[in-house]
Amino acid sequence: MNAMVERRSTPSLLGNQRRDDAARSGNLPTLVDLLHEGFYALFMLQQGAHPLAALGEPGRLAPPPAAPPPLPAPVDGEAPPTPGGLADEATFKEKVHGFLAEFDREARKLRASGDDIDAAKYAFCAAMDEVIHNSRLAMRAPWRHRPLQLILFGDHLAGEHFFDRLEALRSKGGGRLQSLQVFHLCLLLGFKGKYANEPSDKLSYLTARLGEEIAHIKGKSRGFAPQAERPDEIINKLRGEVPLWALSMVFAVAALSIYLGLKTSLTRATQTSMAPYNDLVKLAPKPANLTITLP
């Protein structure tokens, strides 16, 4: 792959590609659309790409040498940051700050809510901090001392406050759809926060519920293959068509009818079976007795 092709295939946070795509589509971009390149950079960092290559820095069209960067030391005995890590951190943060500033300007041009913009930036910063914190990058050590959440929001507990903000947004319903979509995409990209050390089913359930709420707010369209559901599942036939109380009454009446039918059938069968034995034991006839009463 030549340099020109490789450079063109690497998205740039500060390029004009996003604006061109939005203009060609004819639709107003959402906050998720404006953050598209940032989420792509998050994905590339998760795959082990060098941060400056993930941002498409001019002059660095490919990741540095293939040798993996060394793992940083544990927190208790953390080694001092290397000069390369500090340089990468400064350049990377400058790029991200510029990207978020541009995102803020573009979102306000689209008259997006200030609360939605702030919430979207917070979610993105929390996801970026977690990705770098869990990475093998040399800049991980200096980054964890000054994460984006601390610089931009003065917060060092985004892993917990992310979900607090999410619950506040969910309580407001459709008015916060755009920021809910950003939070949902962060969860889909693997953000865990305070659930990092808990069973994955809790976070999976929360992500699924959030996706259902967003689909409900937007107006859920028909599935890709609505006839593909198993026909032997009664829930596929009755879901959303018959109320639960009516279904319960039908089953109750059916159960009562079956019980009465079985009881009547067994009673008749018992009487028929015992009929031949009714005359086995007979009492002696009563003696004749005549009573005469004189006037």
- 3-state SS, residue 47: coil
Q: What does the pLDDT read at residue 187?
A: 93
- 3-state SS, residue 189: coil
Return the H-helix or E-strand segment holding 275: none
Q: Write the pLDDT tens digit of every residue in 268-283.
A: 998 888 887 777 766 7
Q: Which of 33-42, 68-77, 84-93, 144-153 has the weakest average pLDDT?
A: 68-77
Query: What confidence category does residue 226 fall into, taking pLDDT thresholds of 50, 70 and 90?
Result: low
CB 30 within 8 A of CB 113: no
Taking the model in full, what pTM does it have?
A: 0.59
CA distance linking residue 5 with residue 22, whole number of Å: 23
Of 155, 158, 159, 210, the C-alpha closest to 183 is: 210
The pLDDT of 151-160, averaged and rounded, is 88
CA atoms within 13 A on the CB side of 53: 16
Residue 140: what are its φ and ψ, rounded to 5°? -60, -40
Q: What does the pLDDT read at residue 64?
A: 37
Domains of the chain from N-terminus onward: 29-57+83-219 (1.25.40.590)
Q: Write the pLDDT tens digit of every residue in 54-104.
A: 555 433 333 333 444 444 444 444 444 444 456 577 888 888 889 999 999
R_g of the chain computed on alpha carbons: 36
